[in-house]
Amino acid sequence: MMKSYQLALIGFGAAGQGLARILSERADWLREQRGADIRITAVCTRSRGTVHNPAGLDPAALLAAIAQPGGFQNHPDRIDWDAAATVAHANANVLVEVSPTDLTTAEPATSLIRAAIGRGM
- Per residue in 39-75, is it b (16+ CB within 10 Å) or e — as a string? bbbbbbbeebbbbbbeebbbbeebbebbeeeebbeeb
pLDDT for residue 89: 96
Between CA 76 and CA 1 the distance in angstroms is 33
Q: What is the pLDDT of residue 1?
A: 83
Residues of the chain with pLDDT under 70: none
Helix segments in 35-93, DSSP class H? 59-66, 83-89
Question: Taking the C-alpha atoms of 80, 85, 89 and 95 in order, what is their torsion angle to the nearest 10 degrees?
Answer: 120
Q: Is the dihedral of CA 77, 78, 82, 85 positive or negative?
A: negative
Q: What is the pTM of this model?
A: 0.93
